[in-house]
């Protein structure tokens, strides 16, 4: 008689705080979510900084700090020509959990994992999530592209149009939700896997643009949003019902990558740096992403969401001072940022040097200062904005605190990397601590 294989099912609930999860269960709209949010095993995670999806899902997927996996934000800047590009899976500098399991002969099936594009080969299957541009490089093994195309699998909702049109956004989110449920149906039930992970990103998209409608029963759009959340809860129920049917031994983990709260105001750090004399443009920026407009006299500049780089000669082609001076200036700048206020309230909860929050050989690639705004203050680093404070269409923003975590084994990791280590340990593997890549590259 063969011993049943241990299985681990992971349900990702992007951007869902434990507080919001419990509010949704109290409304009666999400009875399946209640099983997670109201359980004795329910807890919270602290997000890695910056509190973004690519940083935190990569920390989970690698069981490592950004100082080891090398992803510090949505974008990276070229130190020679100062152009921005999106980070992706090619930037991940250490093995993923799924690659570790492959090496151990175990099978992973992963659906809609942010930051996994372009996909890496593994034993099992991988369907990448945001930012995935096409099925061609978002799906492994390749033969599954045709299967998903026939099912009209939708990689991502169109939030550009949805930002101003709730009905359109909800229709887009229903389409992505239907795609995730179809993938669950297609790939879970054969039980030919050791690890199955599904990430639902709809809660993040909805809260960015309609947080007040979700949070407040008095809001005119609350009923429409809650109706969508009932559909979303059915997807959660699909996952939990399938998990329940698995033979033992088994384990269930559900988690969010960060929390969410209502937006008070966006705070553009480049506008502030320019007013304070730290940032100079060589020419007028062509758009908000035009980092190539940074001029030689610049002492510091910011990238979304709260990453500030000192313009050191050892790091940037047009740098203005050496690293030892840059460190002193960074200390001065940190104190100035901690004093930044909006309508009499402090904007910053904390401003960190990278070594205070990261560990690992790639910490040197992080920004010189990593800012954490107080809840409701969304930090940005656009180019060419004139106003330090403003509203630009969003009504909700990420928080580093309060992300939902549930583990049927009762574990309470502090953050996503520790949650990743829980997965490795379940399969008898240890997190790697070693010599990730470390040659210098022009992309920071």
pLDDT tens digit sequence for 37-58: 999 999 999 999 999 999 999 9
Three-class DSSP category at 325: helix
Q: Read off the pLDDT of each residue in 363-380 and give the average, rounded to a whole number.
A: 98
Between CA 176 and CA 308 the distance in angstroms is 34
pLDDT digits (tens, 9 = 90+) for 140-165: 999 999 999 999 999 999 988 877 88
Nearest in space to 191 (alpha carbons), one of 147, 242, 144: 242
Burial class (CB in 10 A: 0-12, 13-18, 19+), 48: buried
DSSP string, 43-110: EEEPPPSS--HHHHHHHHHHTS-HHHH---SSEEEBTTT--EEE--GGG--S--HHHHHHHTT--EEE
Domain span(s) for CATH 3.30.1360 in the chain: 265-390
Confidence (pLDDT) at 442: 35
CB < 8 Å & 24+ apart, contacts of 284-288: 284/384, 285/383, 285/384, 286/384, 287/383, 287/384, 288/382, 288/383, 288/384, 288/385
What share of the chain in percent tops pLDDT 70?
A: 97
Token pair of 398, please?
């990420």
Between CA 350 and CA 352 the distance in angstroms is 6
Between CA 323 and CA 326 the distance in angstroms is 5
CB < 8 Å & 24+ apart, contacts of 238-242: 238/181, 238/184, 238/185, 239/9, 239/11, 239/184, 239/188, 239/198, 240/11, 240/32, 240/35, 242/9, 242/184, 242/188, 242/189
Domain span(s) for CATH 3.40.720.10 in the chain: 7-258+399-426
Answer whether residue 246 shows pLDDT above 80: yes
Q: Do residues 266 and 385 lie in contact, with contact meaning Cβ atoms separated by under 8 Å?
A: no
* Alpha helix ranges (H) inside 246-296: 269-275
Q: Read off the pLDDT of each residue in 274-303 and give the average, rounded to a whole number.
A: 97
pLDDT digits (tens, 9 = 90+) for 415-425: 999 999 999 99
Between 2.30.30, 3.30.1360, 1.10.4160, 3.40.140, what CATH number should domain 265-390 receive? 3.30.1360
Token pair of 387, please?
């106003």
The sheet carrying 265-268 orders its strands as 377-380, 265-268, 389-390
CATH number of the structural domain 7-258+399-426: 3.40.720.10
Q: Do residues 104 and 95 lie in contact, with contact meaning Cβ atoms separated by under 8 Å?
A: no
């Amino acid at each position: 008689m063969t011993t049943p294989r241990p299985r681990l099912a992971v349900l990702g609930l992007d951007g869902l705080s434990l507080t919001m999860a419990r509010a949704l269960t109290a409304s009666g709209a999400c009875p399946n979510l209640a099983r997670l949010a109201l359980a004795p095993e329910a807890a919270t995670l602290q997000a890695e900084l910056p509190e973004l999806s690519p940083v935190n899902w990569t920390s989970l997927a690698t069981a490592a700090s950004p100082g080891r996996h090398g992803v510090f934000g949505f974008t990276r800047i070229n130190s020679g020509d100062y152009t921005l590009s999106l980070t992706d899976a090619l930037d991940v500098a250490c093995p993923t959990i799924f690659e570790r399991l492959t090496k151990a002969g175990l099978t992973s099936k992963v659906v809609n994992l942010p930051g996994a594009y372009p996909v890496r080969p593994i034993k099992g299957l991988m369907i990448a999530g945001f930012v995935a541009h096409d099925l061609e490089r978002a799906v492994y093994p390749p033969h599954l592209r045709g299967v998903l195309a026939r099912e009209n699998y939708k990689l991502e909702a169109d939030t550009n149009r949805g930002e101003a049109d709730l009905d359109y956004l909800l229709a887009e989110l229903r389409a992505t939700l239907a795609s995730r449920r179809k993938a669950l149906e297609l790939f879970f039930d054969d039980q030919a896997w050791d690890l199955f992970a599904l990430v639902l990103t709809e809660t993040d998209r909805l809260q960015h643009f309609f947080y007040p409608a979700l949070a407040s029963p008095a809001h005119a759009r609350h009923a429409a949003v809650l109706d969508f959340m009932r559909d979303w809860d059915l997807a959660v129920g699909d996952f939990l019902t399938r998990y329940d049917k698995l033979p033992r031994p088994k384990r269930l983990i559900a988690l969010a990558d960060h929390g969410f709260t209502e937006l008070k105001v966006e705070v553009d750090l480049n506008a502030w740096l320019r007013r304070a004399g730290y940032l100079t443009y060589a020419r007028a920026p062509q758009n908000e992403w035009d980092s190539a407009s940074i001029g030689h006299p610049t002492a510091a500049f910011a990238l979304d969401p709260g990453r500030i780089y000192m313009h050191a000669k050892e790091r940037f082609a047009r740098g203005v001072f050496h690293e030892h001076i840059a460190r002193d200036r960074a200390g001065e700048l940190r104190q100035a940022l901690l004093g930044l206020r909006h309508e009499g309230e402090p904007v910053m909860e904390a401003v960190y040097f990278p070594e205070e929050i990261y560990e690992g050989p790639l910490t040197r690639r992080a920004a010189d200062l990593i800012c954490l705004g107080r809840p409701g203050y969304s930090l940005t680093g656009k180019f060419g904005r004139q106003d330090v404070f403003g509203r630009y269409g969003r009504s909700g923003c990420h928080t580093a605190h309060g992300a939902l975590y549930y583990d049927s084994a009762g574990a309470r990791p502090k953050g996503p990397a520790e949650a990743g280590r829980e997965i490795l340990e379940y399969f008898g593997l240890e997190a790697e601590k070693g010599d990730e890549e470390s040659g210098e590259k022009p992309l920071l």
